[in-house]
């Protein structure tokens, strides 16, 4: 039938298969690919990667070549001549400019040059919580009364530096201040050890071992205030202590006593009155004192015990950040009674959006505040530092 349909497989196969020709074409195509890849590699090798190092300014480059390290400026040192650590210290920083003009920065570790102590520059990177017990040197001045707070060269205030951060959420906010720390060693120790870090602690200027207690409180995460003795209505029968600020004293003497109190510790956000009903009711006596407090970048907390207080009027006239306590929590030293006061403080906060409560470092107060604070967050309450609730003329 002229067909190979029934022929055995493999028989009568024609010679001269096309397979060798196909192989030859494959080899040629492969060779061309290799030549193309090799040529592109040579091209990119000679052309470069499109990156070039960013060159420093000529003066800086010359100083670097001469000394082997970047030039030192006054900003690189503290007032004591100690080197100031840059936020990127301990790293080699290399900048490359890409073909489209954008800058790529490369960081790689390196050992720190030099020897001796280095101070972390809190002006640039903010205060590390691990350094909270140490003051920002730029926010202090040396005086005959000790190291007093000042506003930094960049405008940063102590109340900003040492304030406890808040979440910024639209929550019900409450600040609780436990005062009188430093007057009793056991009460101070318990307050620092057992109260949640959200609680603000106020140290009496006439207390003992204040610097040590302050450092422990700051390491524990607390915002702190300094209590300054002010003249009460029944002075001297009720005496707040030595170097009390009095309405009968000259302005210079009251400022001197204020500075003596301020020099006892560092790292506080503001001043709180210790007694002081008469002093707080006298604008003439208050004005220079409040002006000095505001000039130093601090807030003032009025404990709210004097109905005749002129704090708000004077503070607004001097652009002093200030706050008022809404409630005294431990007028009755009983845990149940204090818990009821804390519930009342919560009702005030829910009505006004915020509230401030004041207590003393008594055992009953510490126990009640610690217990209440554990449950507050579950009810949508954020406990914040006093600085977060102050009326601040610099706030937008």
For residue 95, list its beta bridge partners: 105
Task: Quickly state the pLDDT bin for 223 (edges 50, 70, 90).
Answer: very high
With tokens 């130093």, the residue in question is 296
Q: Could you write out the DSSP letters of every residue in 190-242?
A: HHHHHS-TTSEEEEETT-SSHHHHHHHHHHTT--EEEEEEE--TTTTTS---T
Q: pLDDT for 160-172, tens place per residue?
A: 999 998 887 778 9
Identify the CA nearest to 269 among candidates 176, 153, 386.
Answer: 386
pLDDT of residue 122 exceeding 50, the answer is: no
User: What does the pLDDT read at residue 395?
Assistant: 80
Per-residue tokens: 166: 């808040």
Q: Could you write out the DSSP letters of every residue in 32-55?
A: HHHHHHHHHHHHHHHH--S-EEPP
| Domains of the chain, each with CATH number or no CATH | 138-389 (3.20.20.370)
Q: pLDDT for 158-206, tens place per residue?
A: 999 999 988 877 789 999 999 999 999 999 999 999 999 999 999 999 9
Check if the beta carbon of residue 322 is closer than 8 Å to that of residue 298: no
CA dihedral 307, 176, 279, 254 (to 10 degrees): -170
Q: pLDDT for 340-385, tens place per residue?
A: 999 999 999 999 999 999 999 999 999 999 999 999 989 999 999 9
User: What does the pLDDT read at residue 60?
Assistant: 44
Q: Mean of the pLDDT values across residues 265-292?
A: 98
User: What does the pLDDT read at residue 277?
Assistant: 97
pLDDT of residue 224 exceeding 80, the answer is: yes
> Distance between alpha carbon 7 and the CA centroid of its chain, in Å?
94
User: What does the pLDDT read at residue 171?
Assistant: 84
For residue 351, list its beta bridge partners: none
What is the β-pairing status of strands 103-109 and 91-97?
Answer: antiparallel
Q: pLDDT for 38-74, tens place per residue?
A: 555 555 444 544 444 444 444 444 444 444 444 444 4
Identify the CA nearest to 286 among candidates 308, 264, 267.
Answer: 308
Task: Quickly state the pLDDT bin for 111 (edges 50, 70, 90).
Answer: low
């Amino acid at each position: 039938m002229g067909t190979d349909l029934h022929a055995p497989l493999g028989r009568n196969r024609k010679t001269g298969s096309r397979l060798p020709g196909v192989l030859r074409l494959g080899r040629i195509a492969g060779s061309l690919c290799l030549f193309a890849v090799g040529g592109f590699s040579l091209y990119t090798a000679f052309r470069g990667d499109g990156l070039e190092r960013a060159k420093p300014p000529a003066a800086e480059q010359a100083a670097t070549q001469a000394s082997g390290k970047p030039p030192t400026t006054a900003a690189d040192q503290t007032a004591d001549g100690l080197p100031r650590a840059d936020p990127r210290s301990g790293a080699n920083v290399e900048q490359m400019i890409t073909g489209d003009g954008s800058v790529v920065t490369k960081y790689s570790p390196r050992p720190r040059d030099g020897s001796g102590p280095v101070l972390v520059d809190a002006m640039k990177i903010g205060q590390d919580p691990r350094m909270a017990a140490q003051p920002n040197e730029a926010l202090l001045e040396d005086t005959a009364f000790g190291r007093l707070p000042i506003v930094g060269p960049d405008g940063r205030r102590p109340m900003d530096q040492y304030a406890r951060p808040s979440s910024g959420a639209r929550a019900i906010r409450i600040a609780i201040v436990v005062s009188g720390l430093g007057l009793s060693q056991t009460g101070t120790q318990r307050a620092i050890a057992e109260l949640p870090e959200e609680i603000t602690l106020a140290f009496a200027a006439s207390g003992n071992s204040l610097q040590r207690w302050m450092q422990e409180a700051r390491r524990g995460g607390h915002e702190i205030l300094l209590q300054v003795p002010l003249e009460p209505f029944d002075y001297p029968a009720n005496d707040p202590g030595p170097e009390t600020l009095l309405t009968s004293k000259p302005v210079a003497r009251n400022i001197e006593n204020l500075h003596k109190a301020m020099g006892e510790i560092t790292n506080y956000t503001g001043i709180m009155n210790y007694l002081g009903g008469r002093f707080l009711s006298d604008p003439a006596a208050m004005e220079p004192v409040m002006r000095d407090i505001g000039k130093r970048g601090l807030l003032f907390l009025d404990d709210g015990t004097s109905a005749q207080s002129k704090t708000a009027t004077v503070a607004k006239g001097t652009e002093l950040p200030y706050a008022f306590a809404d409630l005294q929590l431990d007028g009755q030293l009983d845990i149940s009674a204090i818990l009821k006061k804390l519930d009342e403080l919560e009702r005030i906060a829910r009505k006004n959006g915020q509230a401030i409560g004041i207590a003393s470092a008594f055992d009953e107060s510490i126990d009640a505040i610690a217990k209440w604070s554990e449950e507050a967050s579950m009810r949508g309450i954020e406990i914040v530092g006093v600085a977060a609730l102050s009326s601040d003329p610099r706030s937008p």
